[in-house]
Structure 1
Amino acid sequence: MTLSPAFPLPLVVAVFVVLLGFVVWQLVSRGNRSRRLSWSLRAAMVVLLLLVALRPGVSGGGGVEATTDVDVFFVVDTTTSIVAEDYDGSDPRLDGVRSDIVDLVEAYPGAKFALLSFDSSAIVRVPLTSDATAIANASEVLAPEITIYSTGSSISQANDLLASTLERAEQAEPDRSRIVYYFGDGEQTSSAPVESFEDSAQFVSGGYVFGYGTDAGGAMREQTGYYDDDKSDDGYVTDDSGSPARSVIDEQNLRAIADQLGVEYAHRTAPGGAPRADASASSIRSDSDPSGGGVIELYWIPAAALVLLVAAEAVVVLRRLREIRAAADRQGSGA
C-alpha cells in the first residue's frame, strides 16, 4: 500500500483532526438518537474525505516503468469565448483544448499533472497527480462559465494562482522540471487591466501558449448550465444589435503571455500535432521494479462512498426542510 497525499501531509492531518474533533463533539453532545445517527454518518464522511486526500494505492505489475521528473501544468481559459465555433471549421474551441490536453498527457509518461482553469475566477481543478486518467477525465468535463454570470473575461485571471501553485511545487520538489501549457484565445473583454505572468517565469522550465480561434471569429452558444435532449445549449450570445456576437482571437495578447512565461506560442487550428516542450534528458529515466511497475490508485473507492453519503445527507436535509415548511404552514393556518 502506498500513499500519495494530494496536499502536504501535515495540512491533511491538521484539517482532519479539526473536522473529526468537531464531529465527535457534536456526536457526544446529541441526546436524540436520530441526531446521533446523522452525526455518525458525517464522521464517516470525514474519514472517507481523509482517505481521498491521502490517495492510497497498490503496486502494479512488474516490469520497466518510464518515470519523468516533470510537473506539467495546464491552464485553461473557460470564459464564454472558449466555445466560439471557429476551431477546425465550425467546432467549439474547447474541443481543441480537450484534444490537445489528451495528446499532451500521453506525451509525458510518468509525469505529474495539474489542471487549472479560469473565467471570472481561477481555480485548481486537479492538483498535481500522477494519475493521467484523472486529468484526461477532468478535461472532458470542462465547461465554460454560465453566460448570465459573465462580467467580461481577463486573460490574466490565473496569473496569481499559477505563480503560487508553481512556487509550492518548486518548494516541495525543487529538482523536478515544471512545464506550463496555457490554452486560450487572448480576448480581453474585462475592464480590468491585463496583468503579467512574469512572477511565474522563474519556476517554468518550458512550455507553450496555445491560441485558439480565427481572425474572422466565431459565434458563441449561450451557456445556461442545463441542457436539452440534444445535449447543447439553445441560442447564441448576442451583441447590442441583437445579432450573434463573434469572438476573435488576439494573438498579440497570447504572444505577450508566452514572452512573460518564457515559453513558445503556437496557433492551434485542428486536432493532432500539438507541439510539446521537451523535458531535459536528466528528467526522464527508466526504473526497473520487479515487484511493481507502477501504482494503481484506489482513492476513487472512498470517493464513491463519500458521494453516496453526501447524497443521503442531501435527502435527509431536504426532508427536514419540507417538515419545517409544513409545520410553518400549519402554524400559519392555525393563526
Structure 2
Amino acid sequence: MTNLTLSPALGWPLGTAICVIMLVCAVAQIVLHIRRRSQSDETVWACARRSMICALVAIMALTPSIVSSTNSRAINTTDVVVAVDVTGSMAVADAQYGSDEQLSRLDVAKQAVKDIAAMYPNSSFAALRFGASGTLDVPLTPDSKAIDNWADTLAPESTSISAGSTLDVPIDQLLLTCKSIHDQHPDDAIVLYLISDGEQTSSKTRRTFSSLRRYLSDAFTVAVGSEQGGNIPVTGDGVEEGDTQWVTDPETGEPGVSRMNADEMNAIADELSGTAIQLNATTTMSGGDSKETSSKWRVTQTSKQRTRTVAMVWPFAIAVALLLTFEAGAWITQSRRLL
C-alpha cells in the first residue's frame, strides 16, 4: 500500500518559505505579463513557461514523497554461555552420566558440555572455566566444534593454587560476557549453563547471581557428583598418573571428602530464575527439562511492519530542466535578433 505525502527535505519552515516565495513569483509573472503585454514582446508561451518553472520549484521545495509499508523479517538466534567449575573437587570420581559407571565430576561435565552444544544447532557459544578465578576461554562463536574441543581440554586446577571453592567466582566474568553479547546482538536469546558440584568451602558469603537475570532468557544450573561424596585427589604439583594422593582435611588429618551440594545449585537456579538439573545414572543433558526447553530457543523469524518514505522529486526536476532549456534557447534566439 502506497500513499502520497509531503516531506520537505529542508524542513517545513524553510520548505514552506521557498514554496510561498516561488508561488508569489509565478503569480507576479502572470500579472506583469497582463499589465505590459501591449508594451512588451513577451509571448504567452514565455509567460506560461516562467510561471511553470516557479510553480514546479515550489512543489519541489515541499518534497513530494511516497509512503510505502514493508514487512521486514528478522532472524533471531540463540547464544549459549557455558561455565564449568574446575576446582579440585571436580576431580572426585563419584559422578554418573546416564549409566552406573563412576566417573570424575569433570569428565561428566565434559560430556554435558558436548551434549549442550548438540542441543542448539545454528546457535553461537561462549565458554568459560572458573576455579580460583573466572576465565573466558572461548568468546562467542558459531563453531560448536570449538566448544567440543574446549571441553576436551578441561582439567582440574592444581591443588597448590586452590584456596577453597567459592561459587560466585564466575559472576564478574559472566556479567561482562553476557552484557557484551546482549549489546552486540540485542534480539538474540541468551541461555546460561552453570556446571558445578555446588560445593562452597570458602568462609566468605556467596554473592547472588541475580544480577545476571537482566541479560538472560533462560538459565540452568547443572549439578554433578553425589551427595555421598568422595575423596579429593591431589592434582598437579608433580603428581604422576597412577600415583593417587588425597587432599588432607586439616581439621581431622584424614583425606578430605567432597560432597555435591544440590541445595546450593537449586538456590543459584532460583536467583537466575532458571532450572536446576542434577546429573546421575538416569539423567543426562540430552534428555529431560534442558532438552525440552532448548527447542524453544532455537532460530526464530519475526516479521515487523515498517513504513518507508521515498522522495519523488525527480519528475519535477526533469520538467524544470526541460523548461529551463527552452528558456535558455529563447534567450539566445532573442539576443541574436537584437544584434
- Report if aligned partners of 1:146, 1:225 keep a CA contact under 8 Å in 2: yes
Q: Does 1:207 align with 2:222?
A: no
Partner SS state of residue 182, structure 2: helix
Partner SS state of residue 219, structure 2: strand
Pair 1:68–1:132, CA change in 2 (3 A): farther
* Counterpart Cα distance in 1 of 2:298 and 2:108: 28
* Counterpart Cα distance in 1 of 2:78 and 2:291: 13
Residues 1-45 of structure 1 deviation map (CA, whole Å, 9 limit, x = unaligned) = xxxxxxxxxxxxxxxxxxxxxxxxxxxxxxxxxxxxxxxxxxxxx
* Counterpart Cα distance in 2 of 1:280 and 1:181: 15
* Counterpart Cα distance in 2 of 1:154 and 1:233: 28
Partner SS state of residue 191, structure 1: coil
* Counterpart Cα distance in 2 of 1:112 and 1:227: 37
Counterpart residue number, 1:273? 284
Counterpart residue number, 2:64? none
Counterpart residue number, 1:129? 141
Pair 1:263–1:281, CA change in 2 (3 A): closer
Residues 254-289 of structure 1 deviation map (CA, whole Å, 9 limit, x = unaligned) = 111101111100111148631336357584259xxx
Residues 98-146 of structure 1 deviation map (CA, whole Å, 9 limit, x = unaligned) = 0111111111111111111111111101111111111111111111111
* Counterpart Cα distance in 2 of 1:250 and 1:272: 17
Tell me which of 231, 235, 247 is aligned to 1:237: 247
- Report if aligned partners of 1:68, 1:108 keep a CA contact under 8 Å in 2: no
Pair 1:104–1:217, CA change in 2 (3 A): same
* Counterpart Cα distance in 1 of 2:178 and 2:295: 18
- Report if aligned partners of 2:265, 2:276 keep a CA contact under 8 Å in 1: yes
Tell me which of 191, 203, 218 is aligned to 1:179: 191
Residues 151-173 of structure 1 deviation map (CA, whole Å, 9 limit, x = unaligned) = 11101111111112101100001
Larger CA deviation: 212-221 vs 265-274? 265-274
* TM-score for both structures, normalised by structure 1: 0.61
* TM-score for both structures, normalised by structure 2: 0.60
Pair 1:68–1:84, CA change in 2 (3 A): farther
Tell me which of 85, 94, 105 is aligned to 2:93: 85
Pair 1:259–1:236, CA change in 2 (3 A): same
* Counterpart Cα distance in 2 of 1:71 and 1:282: 9
Tell me which of 157, 172, 188 is aligned to 2:169: 157
Tell me which of 184, 208, 219 is aligned to 1:196: 208
Q: Percent identity?
A: 30
- Report if aligned partners of 1:179, 1:205 keep a CA contact under 8 Å in 2: yes
Structure 1 residue 245, shift from structure 2 partner: 1.1
- Report if aligned partners of 1:221, 1:233 keep a CA contact under 8 Å in 2: no
Tell me which of 67, 74, 91 is aligned to 2:82: 74
Q: Could you tell me which runs of 5 or more consecutive residues in structure 1 were left unpaired when the two chains were aligned.
A: 1-66, 287-335
Counterpart residue number, 1:263? 274
- Report if aligned partners of 1:100, 1:272 keep a CA contact under 8 Å in 2: no
The structure that has the greater radius of gyration is: 2
- Report if aligned partners of 1:207, 1:276 keep a CA contact under 8 Å in 2: no
* Counterpart Cα distance in 2 of 1:91 and 1:215: 15
Larger CA deviation: 73-82 vs 268-277? 268-277
Q: Could you tell me which runs of 5 or more consecutive residues in structure 2 were left unpaired when the two chains were aligned.
A: 1-74, 302-339
Q: Which amino acid aligns with 2:247?
A: V
Write the mapping of 1:283-302 to structure 2, written as runs, cut at 5 A: 283-284=298-299
Q: Does 1:251 align with 2:240?
A: no
Structure 1 residue 185, shift from structure 2 partner: 1.1
Structure 1 residue 242, shift from structure 2 partner: 3.5
- Report if aligned partners of 2:94, 2:230 keep a CA contact under 8 Å in 1: yes
Pair 1:238–1:90, CA change in 2 (3 A): farther
